[in-house]
Structure 1
């Protein structure tokens, strides 16, 4: 999930305004589901990967890769 969300974030930033808005609307729904199914990672700031991205600061209980 994390790698896929990283890729989506990069793609969204490169889209023209109208398609970007459409994709962002769909992502909000999926992001809400992910937030509901994961917990905050209390050690996210210490990790080497991009802890500035909110989905990188979540714990999924080992049910995902990335």
Structure 2
């Protein structure tokens, strides 16, 4: 949710003249959301690599 809000925020305020407060908010948002999404991907890969049955179940669900 926060990541989508961040993307909307960047799309609205992509002009070159940002205030220091806006930059600070953007940096904090990036610092919080990106590691969270990377962690989710890492956990998903770990499950797929260690448990073949889970990976097969996901493939069946996609089909």
Q: TM-score range by the shorter chain?
A: 0.3 to 0.5
Larger Rg: 2
More helix by share: 2
**Higher relative contact order at CA 8 Å, sep ≥6: structure 1 or structure 2?**
1
